[in-house]
Structure 1
C-alpha cells in the first residue's frame, strides 16, 4: 500500500429534512386536523482513529465527502428518516487542520477516538407542530437547516517511540528487521526505503516499543533534497533517535563526515529535533576485524566531540543488539 501522509478534503454534513403541511383526510374524519410530520436531521461527519491504518491514501481519491440528507416529513405525523452519519477512519497520529487558518482542530493519539467534526442540519417542523387553540388548521411549516461545509487538511505524523535515521545503505532496514517482525525492502542502492516503515519489539516485561525507519536523509535533505524533508517530521514525536552509522567504511574520516551530515540536516530542519536525545549506533561490525573496531571508534570520537552515547552492533550477526534493546527498554 502506498504511504500518503497528507490530504486536503472538503466535507459536508447532511441537510435537515423539511417539515410538511398535511391534513388528516379519512372517511371518518373528512376535515381532520393537521398531521404534517417533521423532517429528519441531516447526517453528521465524524472521524475515528484506527490502529490498523498507517496511511491517508483513501482520501486521495475522494476529495468531497458528504453525509446523507434527512428526509422530509410525512403525513400522519410521521417524521422523515434521519440522514446517515459519515464516520471517517484515520490512522493514530492524524491531525485535522483548518485550511483557512492552519488551526489544529483535533489530533488523534489513541485507538478508537471518536470526534464529531460537523453536525448535520436540524430538521424542519411539520404543520402539526404549529397547532394551537387559536389556530387549529395551521398552514405553516419550517424547512430543514442546511448542513455545514468545511475544507480541512489531514496530516499524519507516525507515532513511534524510537526513530531510526542515517544515510542510505548504512543498514537501517536490516537493523529494524533484526529486532522486530517488520519486513522492509532491503538492497544496496540509493533510497532503498521509499516510505517510513514501522517495526515493533517487545521488552521482557512485554511492553511494546514502536520503532520507525525514516528514509531519504542525505546532504541537503532539510532543503528538500532526496526524500528527507517529506519524512523528517515523523521523527518529531519520537522519544529518542538512533543514528545508524556504517562502521565498515575504509576511511574513518568518511565515517566522521557521514555523522556530521545527518547532524547538520537535523539542526537545519528543526532545532528541537536536533536537541532530542540521540544515540550513535555503529553498524556492520561483522565486516571489521575485532582489534580494529576500538581503534577506529577512538579516532572518530576525537573528531566528533558531542557523541554522548554509542553502541557497536551487527544487524546480521545480531552482536550488540540485545544490549541496545535493553537500554532502549529502560529509556522508553
Structure 2
C-alpha cells in the first residue's frame, strides 16, 4: 500500500503482486476529522492483506505507521515508470508546488526542478483565483476551451492576482477569457522551468486531473505531445505502493523470517464492508475499488 500525504489531499492506493491498482481513495489533508483517516486505514487493512506499506508526500515524516517512507519525487518516478519505461520528463503540478522530474533510461531519477517556494501557479493558487472570479473549478477547462484570450495575470502573488481578477471582472471580461487567462499564467510559469525537449513528457497530479485544458497550453509552450497518465492524482501513492512491494520482495528474499507489517488497524465492526466504514464521499472522499479491473 502507498499513502501520499500531500499538502491538499491524502491519497491511498492498494496494489496486488502484479502491480494492478485494487483500491484508491482520497481525503482532504487539512480535515479535522481524524477518525475519517483512521476509518480508511481500518477499511483497507480489513479488506486487503497488506504486506508492506510506504508513506510519501509532505506529511510522510509525521506518519509513523507505515513500514517505510520515500520522497514524492522517487514515488512519482516509480509510478509513471510502471506504465512508461525509459527516459522521460514528469511534470507534477501539485497543491503547493510544481516539479519537473527527469528519469534516465533505467527509470531512476536523474534530476528534478521545483518552482519558487511560494505557491505561484499551483493548485491552491488556481483554486483561490478561480473562487475570486466566481468560476466553478469543474467548469474551468470547458470554459477556457471556448476562448482565444492570450493574456495572463501580471502577478503570481495571490493578493495582487485577486485584485487583477477583480479588474478583469469590472472590465466586463467573459468567464471563458478569465479562465484561459488564469491557465495561461500557470502554463507560462511551467514553461520557464527546465525540461528536456528530446524525451517523452508525462503529466501527473490533481491539478491536471481536473484541469486537462492545461495540457493543451503546455503542448503549445513546449511544442510537444504531452501525455496525462491514468488516474494522475493517485500516481504518487501508486508509486509508493510499487516501492513498498519491491522492498517487501527484497526483504523476503534475503531474510529467513517472515516480514511483519506495521500497518495493522483493528476492524471497525465484526463484519465490515467498504461502504459502511469509509467516510461519505460528499465529505471529501472518493472511493474506487478496482479488484475486478486491470491497469
The question of a shared fold, defined as TM-score above 0.5 by the shorter chain, is answered with no
TM-score, normalised by the number of residues in structure 2: 0.24
Task: Please state which structure has a larger fraction of its residues in helix.
Answer: 2
Structure with higher strand content: 1
What TM-score do the two structures reach when normalised by structure 1? 0.22
Q: Which has the higher contact order (CA 8 A, sep 6+)?
A: 2
